[in-house]
């Protein structure tokens, strides 16, 4: 019983540390302060989404929060126009799914998949806007985020073979195997990396 209560708490605590990690920028920013603030907002919303889903088991609210999370990530990588397009496509997907009789949580899940696709592709569009290794951290972080959500989707599919206890346990482990690295990478992606800080210092000394 204690393990069942403690395990979700530990998972949320890890995400909370990732949220706090986004505030660290003692050596400067990969881009600028605005970029870090957007990341902090995304990480804070991610923490809120996990609290709703992991601790409170309010999955519908959690999915809505994750849709907002992906919109913020997409805004960081691209621009407001692309976020508006993301929201429109996500909303249309939800309405069409709901009108065809899809259960609410699955309709939201399909909508979230659209939000996720926009932010993942947006991370590739942002690759040349960030220095290395931040650009790689962003792309790998978003791909890991997608990997996590693929496992979430498989875990919730109404397929008998996927509902077996052993399969469910494997899928659950897969979720967190991808999710923790994704949040660690993304939460570190706004600050200047020590390697290219040293290069900047060398260039200043050579002037």
Tokens of 181: 């690295």
Question: What gap in Å lies between CA 207 and CA 204, rounded to an integer?
Answer: 5
Count of Cβ atoms closer than 10 Å to residue 154 Cβ: 16
Burial track 102-123 (b if 16+ CB lie within 10 A, e otherwise): eeeeebbbbbbbbbbbbbbbbb
Question: What gap in Å lies between CA 133 and CA 187, rounded to an integer?
Answer: 13
pLDDT over 80 at 196, yes or no: no
CB 64 within 8 A of CB 108: yes
The better pLDDT of the pair 190, 205 is held by 190
Question: What gap in Å lies between CA 73 and CA 39, rounded to an integer?
Answer: 7
Residues 6+ apart with CB under 8 A from 206: none
pLDDT over 80 at 194, yes or no: no
pLDDT at residue 2, as a whole number: 42
Q: What percent of the chain has pLDDT over 90?
A: 77
Tokens of 194: 């020590």
pLDDT at residue 204, as a whole number: 37
Q: What is the mean pLDDT of residues 168-172?
A: 89
pLDDT over 70 at 5, yes or no: no
pLDDT over 70 at 142, yes or no: yes
Q: What percent of the chain has pLDDT over 70?
A: 91
Question: What gap in Å lies between CA 192 and CA 116, rounded to an integer?
Answer: 26
Residue matched to tokens 């913020």: 72
The better pLDDT of the pair 62, 162 is held by 62
Confidence grade of residue 197 (pLDDT, cut at 50, 70, 90)? low
Question: What gap in Å lies between CA 122 and CA 145, rounded to an integer?
Answer: 13
pTM of the predicted model as reported, rounded to 2 decimal places? 0.90
Count of Cβ atoms closer than 10 Å to residue 19 Cβ: 21
For 86-121, the pLDDT digits (tens) are: 999 999 999 999 999 999 999 999 999 999 999 999
pLDDT over 60 at 130, yes or no: yes
Confidence grade of residue 199 (pLDDT, cut at 50, 70, 90)? low
């Amino acid at each position: 019983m204690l393990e069942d209560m403690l395990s979700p708490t530990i998972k949320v605590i890890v995400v909370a540390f990732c949220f706090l990690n986004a505030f660290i920028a003692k050596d400067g920013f990969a881009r600028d302060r605005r970029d870090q603030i957007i990341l902090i907002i995304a990480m804070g919303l991610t923490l809120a989404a996990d609290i709703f889903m992991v601790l409170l088991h309010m999955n519908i609210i959690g999915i809505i929060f994750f849709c907002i999370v992906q919109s913020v990530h997409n805004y960081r990588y691209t621009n407001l126009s692309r976020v508006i397009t993301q929201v429109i496509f996500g909303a249309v997907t939800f309405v069409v799914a709901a009108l065809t009789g899809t259960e609410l949580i699955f309709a939201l899940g399909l909508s979230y998949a659209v939000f996720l696709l926009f932010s993942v592709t947006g991370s590739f569009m942002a690759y040349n806007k960030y220095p290395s290794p931040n650009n790689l951290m962003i792309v790998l972080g978003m791909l890991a985020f997608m990997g996590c959500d693929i496992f979430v989707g498989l875990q919730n599919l109404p397929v008998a073979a996927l509902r077996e206890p052993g399969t469910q346990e494997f899928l659950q482990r897969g979720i967190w195997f991808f999710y923790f690295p994704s949040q660690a990478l993304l939460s570190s992606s706004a600050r200047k990396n020590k390697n290219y800080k040293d290069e900047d210092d060398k260039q200043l000394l050579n002037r």
